[in-house]
Every structure is written in C-alpha cells, then in structure tokens.
Amino acid sequence: MGFGVFVHRSDSIYEDSPAEQYQFPRQYLGRVEACVGDWIIYYEPSKVADTRGYFAIAKVRQVIPDPGAPAMYLALIEPGSYLDFANPVPFNGATGPIEQGVLNEQGRISGRAQSAVRPVSPEDFKRIAELGFEERSPLLPRFDNEMPPPGFNEEQAPFSFDQQRDRISVTVSRILRDRVFRRVVLRAYDERCAITGLKLINGRGRAEVAAAHIRPVEASGPDIVSNGIALSGTAHWMFDRGLIGLADDLEILISRQTNNPQEIRAIINKSGHAFAPSRISDRPHPHFLKWHREHCFKQ
C-alpha cells in the first residue's frame, strides 16, 4: 500500500466520478494497484481554467478491468472516503512545488510531474492534506448551538496523520467532514439559498443557509459538492420532507401532496429554477437528484 496522486480534470474525457471511480489506461495499472487500501490526493492541472490544484482526498478500495472499455481499468473508491479540501492547494508554494517528490536531484521539476498517476511520499501527502484542511478563516455555523464545546479536542485537530515505523494511518473525523462539506458547498453557492435566491448574513456574520445533502449520508450519500445544495431553513425543511424537489435541469418541483402550493411558490425565486454554482462540476448531479425524487420527493 502507498499514497498516490491521481490527476483529474473537470473536463476529463475519462469516465471519472471522483467520489466513486477513477478510470485509467493499462500503463498506470501498477501504480494504481500500489494505492489499493490507501489514500490518494486528487490534483487538477494548471492548464485547466480556474484550476483547483490539489483538491480532495479519497481511499482506493479495489481495481477492476473496465467492463465497458477494453484496455481501461477502474479504481473503485471506498464509499464515504472522498472529501474535498476546505482550501484547494496550488501546485507551487512560496518556496517551490508543494509536492517535493516531483523534483529531480538538481531541484528542478521532472517529467514525473506530468504523470496522471504517481506515488507520493508520506511527507508530501501530510503536507498537502494539512494545507487542504487548514482553518484559515473559520466559516461560522448558522446557530450558536452548532459551535463545539470549549476544549473539544477533535475540533482543534480534526485531521490525524499517524506515522510509525511499520504503520501509517489517516483519520478523518465526521466533525471535519461536516465542517468541510459546509464550507465547500456554501462557497460554491456564494452563501445563497438555491431555492429562494436570497443571500442573508446575520448580525454575527453567519450565513443563514445550510449545506444540505441531496442524498443523505445515512443513505450512502457522499460528502461531495455535486451531492450538496445551499438551502435556507424553510427550504431545507421542505426539501428533506419531500415537499419540493429538483428536476435534472434544476426546475423546482412542488409536491402535489402539499397543503398550500401557492405559499411555497411565493418563496421560490421567480425563475422557477434552483440557482446553480458557476462551476459545472459543482452543480447537483442528476444521479443524486434522481435518488431524491425517487426516495424523498412526494409525487
């Protein structure tokens, strides 16, 4: 087992779904197999417009031949392991590449940096992950009672990297997952409710929207932006109870079982469609929207 870097572009031609699978050609089979059972970092190259750099971690569960594409393989991601970084990490830092393993003996960037799949040292993995999860400007929760109790250690050190002589382990807490998911979803939606279109900040600087999962964690929904949506309190309540839903084109659907559809229409933004993130890969994925319509939305 070993850590790795998987290059993924938002405009990729491959059948990638970072929280579920990573498609790659035979030439990278050995490198990917070396990561089975361990963690990898996703990286988006600088050639991509508005690149995210190093943007997420995930754990590789197994590697299988792609049943739909000869000579291609799939790295299947451990369900629930994918997590976006709170802060995307650029390739270059103040003193050079963050991933020092791409440097040759002369200290120059080698051809290794161009590899779509490459091993990464524990030291580089730790450095990148700690920068990705660093609390630079804490995003305040909506309510005071969402704040952790004083001295709650997991809030202070939510990402744990334990390296001993014969063992390396990574611990990502549920507290960290919830906090990072809120941060990346609200950032994608500019802290604006997708249903009402309102952007409200209360007197203490807290955004009055929540980061809602479209497919809940309890139903194996991943902590990924495309499974999230920013909703105000009332819209969140209605979405969770199936009184409203979303079509694949983000048209806002109102359940026929609601007792007052006119009042619901009154709080929906005038376009009748949910506001979406500007980045296409951050928008609600049809896969998750379909799940919500079939399991939550009251037809």
With a CB cutoff of 8 Å and minimum separation 6, the contacts of 145 are none
Residue 56's beta-bridge partner residues? 42, 84
Other C-beta atoms closer than 10 Å to the C-beta of 34 total 17
List the structure tokens of 171: 């611990």
Which residue ranges make up each domain of the chain?
Answer: 4-138, 172-295
CA atoms within 13 A on the CB side of 294: 9
Q: For the chain (length 299 residues), average pLDDT per consecutive 10?
A: 89 83 95 95 87 93 94 94 92 90 89 92 92 72 47 50 63 84 94 93 76 94 94 94 96 92 92 94 94 94
- Domain 4-138, CATH: 3.10.590.10
What sign for the dihedral angle of Cα 191, 195, 196, 202?
negative
Helices (H), the chain: 29-33, 122-132, 153-156, 174-188, 233-240, 261-267, 286-295
Q: What is the DSSP string of 235-252?
A: HHHHHHTTSEEE-TT-BE
Pair 162, 168: CB distance under 8 Å: yes
List the structure tokens of 19: 């929280």
What does the pLDDT look like over 64-80, one tens digit per residue? 999 999 889 999 999 98
- Residue indicated by tokens 């995307």: 88
Q: Running DSSP on this structure, what letter comes out for residue 3? A: -
Query: What pLDDT is attached to residue 138?
Result: 55
Query: What pLDDT is attached to residue 149?
Result: 41
Pair 101, 121: CB distance under 8 Å: yes
Which amino acid is residue 148, in one-letter code? P
List the structure tokens of 263: 């009042």
List the structure tokens of 99: 């991933």
Query: What pLDDT is attached to residue 51?
Result: 84
Query: What pLDDT is attached to residue 160?
Result: 73
Give the Cα separation of 177 and 180 in Å (integer).
5
Residue 254's beta-bridge partner residues? 244
Query: What pLDDT is attached to residue 153?
Result: 42
